[in-house]
Structure 1
Amino acid sequence: MSEENPFPPMRVELGRPNIARVYDWYLGGSTNWAIDRRFGQRVLRETPLVRAMAMSNRRFLHRVVRRLSKLGIDQFVDVGAGVPSPGNTHAIADEVDPGSRVVYIDHEPVAVAHLRMLLEEHGDLERHAVLQADLRDPGGLWKQVVGSGVLDPTRPIALLFLAVLHIRQEGPDGTDLTPQALHHYRELLPAGSYLAISHATDDGIGEPTREGVTKVKQMYDDWASKLTWRSKEETAALFGDFELLDPGMTWTSLWHPEDDAPSSPKVDFTDPSDSGCWAGVGRKT
């Protein structure tokens, strides 16, 4: 652990559920262990909507990448990308622009290893990269992104934080580092760049879904990773002075459904708030 990076590298943890591997299981992936599946099954018994929430967030990723690609963005940094699941960022970007460039970031070594295997088999190592870094260290993370040589840091970049910021990002003293980290990331992005965020919440959700997400949070806090729910206003604050694209802050299920594709996950909610995640995309002017 250096003075520049106060956060030690994460070791492979197989004795407790891992949030990235559990999420992969929700999405129907295979990069997970029995302990992750058992935990996911307990979560779904309490709140069956969680799998649909994960699918809705995945669909939001697809919509964001397609829309920004059509707006001319050809560089993406996916922070907290997790283990490979169907419909990864580079695959969606390549559908629109075969010359697009993507850097994946994760802190979990199993996720990083599997993402590298995916890119070696199905990617282009000149246009795609995987880095192990900690989002709580914006300067160190961005130094690695630039050092990869995949992206041009002087041109607009889409920075994605999807379903990751509600995993509590604590400093050595236990404080929540997310707001100050996002402030630093916004400063690092060149003009014309975009910031995309989806964030789990208990704000604006009707019963019984609200009761369900409260139980889910307690289960994750006890057995996997501590979570932090943010309100619509608190999530919007993470964009700072970036200009939000229409429709502004909304539920993942409502953000530009016209950008779905036949390959997008299929999920329907009785109420849009059942998606359980605020979502938005902002532009740096």
Structure 2
Amino acid sequence: MLPEPERTGGEVDVERPNSARMYDYYLGGSTNFAVDREAAEAGLRAMPYARDYAVANRAFLRRAVSHLVQQGIDQFLDLGSGIPTVGNVHEIAHRHNPQARIAYVDHEPVAVAHARALLGENPMVTIDEADIRDPESVLRAHGVAKIDFDRPVAILAVAILPFVPDQAEATALTATYRDACAPGSYLAVTHISQLAATDEQVVAAEEVMARTPTPVRWRPPHEIAELLDGYELLPPGLVPTPSWHADRPPSDDEIARANAYAAVGRLV
């Protein structure tokens, strides 16, 4: 776990919990502060399935990236990439194609700093500090500009769109990124949604995240589907996250505890 930094007034806000660092804690990472761990534990008390959700998202990311590389995709834009942990996009993609280009984007300074330290001088992998809610700044970012958008690219929006609570803004956002891509590109999405969680747990979980700079919105499947407008969904379509191209049939309990849906769409 990160040592508590001096209160220098810099960019890193250590007074409030941060969603990226909380997510890192749920995945068993060490890039988090006491305030994040306290909030994450409060999240677990409010919604005991929070860790299941994080683990299911990470497993989907591995399956989706592997599948897309095997479809010939060699460019990835990872929106809201978060804290570096084992099983990052470049690690997965480079197992299949060492020449795949990966552009990570996150607005959280700790996530970006640790990603830069982890990535070193790898010329095929970049990290930019930018807000995914400002697509123009993302698409102009130094690393993202190395992607050739005249060729197919995979946009990864894994567990990030809940942080865009307004439905109209969220659909406009995915449409903007879609319109920047060539036919044959893909969008991979996971999104928190009520499966095992009770109404009371959803409210409590949203209240915990409301204490952070990034409140969240749980969405029902039909609203998640709207985020993929303009894409042709790959089989099996929009399904609970553990069920998408599962390595083995997930149990009903695993499906429910993930509390999320996933899909991958192809731009035709």
Whether TM exceeds 0.5 here: the answer is yes
Farther off after superposition, 49-58 or 212-221: 212-221
CA distance in 2 between partners of 1:176 and 1:284 (Å): 20
Equivalent position amino acid for 1:100 in 2? A
Matched residue, 1:273 = 256
CA drift of 1:281 comes to 0.5
Change (3 A) 1:198 1:145: farther
Q: Is 1:140 the counterpart of 2:123 in the alignment?
A: no
Q: Give the TM-score normalised by the residue count of structure 1.
A: 0.84
SS at match of 2:13: coil
**C-alpha distance after superposition, 1:127-172 (max 9, x if no partner):** 00001111111122112267642x22211100001001101367xx
Q: Is 1:228 the counterpart of 2:217 in the alignment?
A: yes
Matched residue, 2:155 = 159
Matched residue, 2:11 = 11
Whether contact under 8 Å (1:269, 1:275) holds in the other structure is no
CA drift of 1:215 comes to 1.5
Matched residue, 2:190 = 198
Q: Give the TM-score normalised by the residue count of structure 2.
A: 0.90
**C-alpha distance after superposition, 1:33-90 (max 9, x if no partner):** 1111111112223332110110001001001000001111111110000011111110
Matched residue, 2:3 = none
Whether contact under 8 Å (2:18, 2:212) holds in the other structure is no
Matched residue, 1:7 = none
CA distance in 1 between partners of 2:266 and 2:122 (Å): 28
Matched residue, 1:108 = 108
CA distance in 1 between partners of 2:122 and 2:85 (Å): 19
Equivalent position amino acid for 2:63 in 1? R
CA distance in 2 between partners of 1:106 and 1:13 (Å): 15
CA distance in 1 between partners of 2:106 and 2:212 (Å): 20
Whether contact under 8 Å (1:102, 1:128) holds in the other structure is yes
Matched residue, 1:264 = none
CA RMSD of aligned residues (A): 2.2
What does residue range 68-217 of structure 1 map to in structure 2 within 5 Å?
68-120=68-120, 125-144=122-141, 148-149=145-146, 151-168=147-164, 177-202=169-194, 205-206=195-196, 209-217=198-206
Percent pairwise identity: 38
Change (3 A) 1:50 1:147: closer
Q: Is 1:42 the counterpart of 2:42 in the alignment?
A: yes
Matched residue, 1:237 = 226
SS at match of 1:156: coil
**C-alpha distance after superposition, 1:96-137 (max 9, x if no partner):** 1111110000011111111111101xxx53100001111111
Matched residue, 2:6 = none
CA distance in 1 between partners of 2:222 and 2:64 (Å): 21
Equivalent position amino acid for 1:140 in 2? S
Whether contact under 8 Å (2:16, 2:211) holds in the other structure is no
Change (3 A) 1:12 1:62: same
Matched residue, 1:249 = 238
Runs of 4+ more than 6 Å apart: none
Change (3 A) 1:99 1:147: closer
Change (3 A) 1:147 1:52: closer
SS at match of 1:92: helix
Whether contact under 8 Å (1:196, 1:280) holds in the other structure is yes
Whether contact under 8 Å (2:128, 2:143) holds in the other structure is no
Farther off after superposition, 47-56 or 217-226: 217-226
Matched residue, 2:33 = 33
CA drift of 1:274 comes to 2.3
CA drift of 1:227 comes to 0.8
Whether contact under 8 Å (1:160, 1:195) holds in the other structure is yes
CA distance in 1 between partners of 2:180 and 2:20 (Å): 26
Whether contact under 8 Å (2:49, 2:259) holds in the other structure is no
